[in-house]
Amino acid sequence: MNFMSLLPQTAGILPKYLLFISVVSAFNSAQSYFGGLTLTRRVYEAKPSEVTPLSARTFGTWTFVTAVVRLYGAYHITDPAVYDITYATYLVAFAHFTSEWLIFKTAKFGKGLLGPLIVSTSTIVWMTLQKAFYLSL
């Protein structure tokens, strides 16, 4: 078995990208449990004192759930229900990070928030544009 056989076999780059983001998210989740509060506080840098061990673990759990959905989406991207639920994880992430920035004021526009905003926004656009291709609409 070679490495390439482990990658999603569906045509296009999007499934491989979803796999990559899933793996990154799983590592981020582990960091939320075992790496202290530093990286989580970087995202919510406007009010870092509100990041507690409990909130970091909750964030880590939410991140891991999205990683699992996105992993499944990477390998089953041609299933309409899986496509939609994978897409929804990015909508929820965008809504969360945007609301923490603009409504709750716990995040500020900077490098801690920039990554999640770029990933969620670009993936929403990409998946919107590619839906017909992967679902043969």
Q: Locate the domains of the chain by residue range.
A: 12-132
Sign of CA dihedral 67, 70, 76, 79: positive
Question: Tens digits of per-residue pLDDT, 80-120?
Answer: 999 999 999 999 999 999 999 999 999 999 999 999 999 99
- pLDDT band (50, 70, 90) for residue 5: confident
Q: Is 137 helix (H, G, I), strand (E, B) or coil?
A: coil
Question: Tens digits of per-residue pLDDT, 22-65?
Answer: 999 999 999 999 988 988 999 999 999 999 999 999 999 999 99
Model-level pTM? 0.93
- pLDDT band (50, 70, 90) for residue 137: low
User: What pLDDT is attached to residue 127?
Assistant: 98
Measured distance CA(58)–CA(73) in Å, rounded: 23
User: What pLDDT is attached to residue 9?
Assistant: 92
